[in-house]
């Protein structure tokens, strides 16, 4: 008898599982914005999604409709979720533009950050907050510490004016889909 793999092929140790008030619309949003591929969808009588699996780049996520009668609640859009789902992408500006065009609410505009990423955040319209980033510069721990202190100097509040990069690096012209593998 062969041993069962405790982590099935295609899965990683950590997989986001999002509950939404309208999972079908959320899945359409993730397809449009992130280039998500739907791997499967299970419906209960009445048509609500009890489970859907999506592939974004090299990672999977799950989505389902809220079932409050069973203790499964969705966040309220506009209420600022305490959880942020992060995606590294080849071109943060393109992904961000698609998100805004699809109805996302900008919670932090895209900008060059002290840790070496071009980074921004938005709420997807289903109550989930996303951060997206493209790595544009390798930064040493000492450089990162100094830039972080400069960004948060003053009254303890963050000034979103990131220190200027030593060299301007144009966003990569890689495939626009989130998490797409780069060609070598």
Binning pLDDT at 50, 70 and 90, where does residue 155 land?
Answer: low
- In DSSP terms, 134 is beta-bridged to 118
Pick from 146, 74, 71, 158: which is nearest to 121 by CA? 158
Where do the domains of the chain lie?
13-74, 76-169
pLDDT in tens, 94-142: 999 999 999 999 999 999 999 999 999 999 999 999 999 999 999 999 9
User: Which is higher by pLDDT, 157 or 64?
Assistant: 64
* Interval 43-58 mean pLDDT: 96
- In DSSP terms, 62 is beta-bridged to 17, 53
Rank 1-15, 67-81, 122-136, 152-166 by mean pLDDT and report only the highest: 122-136
pLDDT at 93: 97
**Is 3.30.720.120 the CATH number for 13-74?**
yes
Instruction: Return the CATH architecture of domain 76-169.
Output: 2-Layer Sandwich (3.30)
What span, in angstroms and rounded, lies between the C-alpha atoms of 16 and 59? 10
61 Cβ neighbours under 8 A, 6+ residues apart: 15, 16, 17, 18, 30, 36, 53, 54, 85
pLDDT at 182: 44
Predicted model pTM: 0.78
> How many other CB atoms are found less than 10 A from the CB of residue 80?
10
* Same topology between domain 13-74 and domain 76-169: yes
pLDDT at 153: 84
Of the listed ranges 46-60, 127-141, 146-160, the one predicted with least confidence? 146-160
- Tell me what percent of the chain is helix, strand and coil, each rounded to the nearest 5: 20, 30, 50
pLDDT at 158: 53
Binning pLDDT at 50, 70 and 90, where does residue 1 land?
Answer: low
């Amino acid at each position: 008898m062969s041993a069962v793999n405790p982590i099935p092929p295609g899965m990683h140790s950590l997989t986001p599982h999002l509950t939404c008030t309208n999972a079908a619309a959320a899945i359409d949003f993730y397809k449009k914005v992130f280039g998500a591929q739907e791997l499967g969808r299970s419906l209960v009588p009445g048509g609500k999604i009890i489970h859907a699996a999506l592939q974004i780049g090299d990672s999977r996520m799950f989505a389902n409709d809220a079932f409050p009668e069973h203790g499964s609640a969705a966040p309220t859009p506009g209420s600022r979720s305490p959880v942020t789902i992060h995606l590294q992408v080849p071109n943060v500006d393109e992904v961000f533009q698609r998100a805004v065009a699809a109805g996302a609410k900008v919670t932090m505009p895209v900008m060059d950050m002290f840790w070496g990423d071009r980074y921004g955040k938005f709420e997807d319209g289903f109550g989930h907050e996303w951060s997206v980033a493209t790595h544009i510069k390798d930064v040493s721990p000492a450089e990162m510490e100094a830039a972080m202190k400069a960004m948060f100097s003053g009254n303890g509040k963050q000034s979103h004016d990131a220190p200027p990069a030593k060299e301007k690096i144009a966003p990569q012209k890689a495939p626009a889909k989130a998490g797409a593998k780069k060609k070598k």
